[in-house]
Amino acid sequence: MHGKLILGILSALILLPACARRPVATDTSQAADIPKEIAIQKLKELLGGVEYVYCTEPKDSLKPSEIRSMAVSPVSLEVARSKGTSLIMAYREIRLVQAASAGNKQEGACRVFTTRTRSKDQDKPHFEFLFKTVAEAQQMTELLTALRKQD
């Protein structure tokens, strides 16, 4: 009995780092040169491939089947949930956008830190968008950086 418990705990400890998000370097130096209209169009196209959306305020995790729509405007990104109110991220509230690898797979995450995050949660992203690849997360990071700089 104790052997199975210890084995379970050890397995969990080994797998824990695999679930962590590790930042991935993303060159956003040219982001300000991306015209707003192009950034909006590319972001709309990219959001079609989102695998999952996490939000810390209000706390929610959404699969694609739980998302009614995602709207990209010149001032914000809105995730309309199937149930409940929409999640809105205004570009002017973005403090930091960071691409990260997600676990052992080639999955990527675009982590968005905003000024609306409570002071005790400043190290946690307000929004997190999961993609099949790190390259998609890096592209979203660049596009959101462009929109933040132009807002």
pLDDT at 8: 46
- Separate counts of helices (H) and strands (E) for the chain: 3, 9
Of 109, 102, 108, 112, nearest to 134 by C-alpha is: 108
- What is the per-residue pLDDT across 92-151, written as a single tens digit (0 to 9) for each? 999 999 999 977 668 999 999 998 876 566 788 999 999 999 999 999 999 999 999 877
Distance from C-alpha of 68 to C-alpha of 7, rounded to nearest angstrom: 42
Write out the two tokens for 31. Answer: 């982001």
- What is the per-residue pLDDT across 21-65, written as a single tens digit (0 to 9) for each? 787 778 888 888 999 999 999 999 999 999 999 999 888 999 999
pLDDT at 104: 63
- What is the per-residue pLDDT across 78-92, written as a single tens digit (0 to 9) for each? 999 988 889 999 999
The residue type of 10 is L
Residue 3 pLDDT exceeds 80 = no
Q: Strand 94-102 and strand 87-90: pairing? A: unpaired
